[in-house]
Amino acid sequence: MIQSMTGYGKSTAVVNGKKIHVEIKSLNSKALDLSTRIVPLYREKEMEIRSMVGKALERGKVDLVIWVEKDDTQAATPINTAVLGCYYQQIRRISEEQGIPLPADWFATLLRMPDVMTRTEAEELTEEEWNAVHAAVEEAIATLVEFRTQEGVALQKKFTEKIRNIGNLLQSIEPYEQSRTERIRQRLVESLEAIPNVEYDKNRLEQEMIYYIEKLDISEEKQRLANHLKYFMETMENGHGQGKKLGFIAQEMGREINTTGSKSNLAEMQNIVVKMKDELEQIKEQVLNVM
């Protein structure tokens, strides 16, 4: 079963009064193109996070975001009581030495002083918190992979329909192919007979017509195209990671269809070729999104 490269996943984890959010999304790309936005506390684990994403997703343009939402007790900036007490003692001493009246509202004065409301402690990533982040990243990746798989089912259904349509169109060429030989022969004879006072060697004409008709024969192109259609279907069933191979097969299908069109000197056959090209173009557009 094939997978799409388009997907989205998210997860949350709660630990130590924090709500950790992980979001990951991916689009199509020839290789893995991963960009991350991670809160500073988890930056030391970025390489490990990148490794987790790379092993699971393999290809695609991937954006990973991790941010933290803190509860009210965590979000509030603590009052630095040591600094506040130091300012209190200094103000009292200056008041006594300089004869300046003490402030009427101590808290209003002290809380405006520098560094009283500054968070000074450095956060450290605990093992408990990292385990929660690790689990959240794994869950977000798993959700994205499930999304990709669902999209892959839809793509495979679409490809199957288009391959079947091309196969049916290929079979519809056969009646015209059988009748066109006689049409070519008749047209050449009529053209020669329309020229007055012209004598020609009928045996030589027959040889030339056989040579001409052989050059227009599309039996090999039809057989190769049928083989490519079969191989495309088999490759889809081989599992994910087949996007590049499916792209190569689609290119080969295009070559056979184009050659068939160049050899089809019959309007009805050329119309069928145009329809096959339209079906193939839709395959080529979507196969770029297959992992």
Residue 106 placed within a domain: yes
Residue 254 placed within a domain: yes
pLDDT tens for 97-136 read 888 888 888 878 877 788 776 655 567 889 999 999 999 9
Same domain assignment for residues 22 and 88: no
- Paired with 60 in beta bridges are 32
Give one DSSP letter per residue of the chain, joined into a string: ---BS-EEEEEEEEETTEEEEEEEEEE--SSEEEEEEE-GGGGGGHHHHHHHHHHHH-SEEEEEEEEEEE-HHHHSPPP-HHHHHHHHHHHHHHHHHHTPPPPS-HHHHHTTSTTTT---PPP---HHHHHHHHHHHHHHHHHHHHHHHHHHHHHHHHHHHHHHHHHHHHHHHHHHHHHHHHHHHHHHHHHHHTSTT----HHHHHHHHHHHHHHT--HHHHHHHHHHHHHHHHHHTT-SS-HHHHHHHHHHHHHHHHHHHHH--SHHHHHHHHHHHHHHHHHHHHHTTB-
Where residue 142 sits, what CATH number does that domain have?
3.30.230
> How many Cα neighbours within 13 Å face the side chain of 172?
15
Top-confidence residue, 156 or 242: 156
How many domains are contained in the chain?
A: 3
pLDDT value, residue 210 = 64
Same domain assignment for residues 188 and 100: no
Same domain assignment for residues 200 and 238: yes
What does the chain come to in residues? Answer: 291
Same domain assignment for residues 106 and 174: no
Same domain assignment for residues 187 and 281: yes
Q: What is the domain range of residue 27?
A: 7-74+126-149
Residue 272 placed within a domain: yes
Same domain assignment for residues 183 and 204: yes
When pLDDT is cut at 50, 70 and 90, the band that residue 74 belongs to is low
Q: What is the pTM of this model?
A: 0.71
pLDDT value, residue 192 = 66
pLDDT tens for 54-64 read 999 988 999 99
Same domain assignment for residues 67 and 196: no
- Spatial distance between the Cα atoms of 20 and 36, rounded to a whole number of angstroms: 15
Same domain assignment for residues 96 and 189: no
Residue 115 placed within a domain: no
Q: What percent of the chain has pLDDT over 70?
A: 84
Top-confidence residue, 279 or 176: 279
173 Cβ partners below 8 Å, 6+ apart?
A: 218, 222, 260, 264, 269, 272
On the 0-12 / 13-18 / 19+ scale of CB atoms within 10 A, 232 is buried
Same domain assignment for residues 229 and 265: yes
pLDDT value, residue 161 = 96
257 Cβ partners below 8 Å, 6+ apart?
A: 166, 225, 273, 276, 277, 280
235 Cβ partners below 8 Å, 6+ apart?
A: 242, 245, 246, 249
- Paired with 14 in beta bridges are 19
Same domain assignment for residues 134 and 17: yes
Residue 1 placed within a domain: no
pLDDT value, residue 120 = 53
pLDDT tens for 21-44 read 999 999 999 899 999 999 988 999
Same domain assignment for residues 135 and 181: no
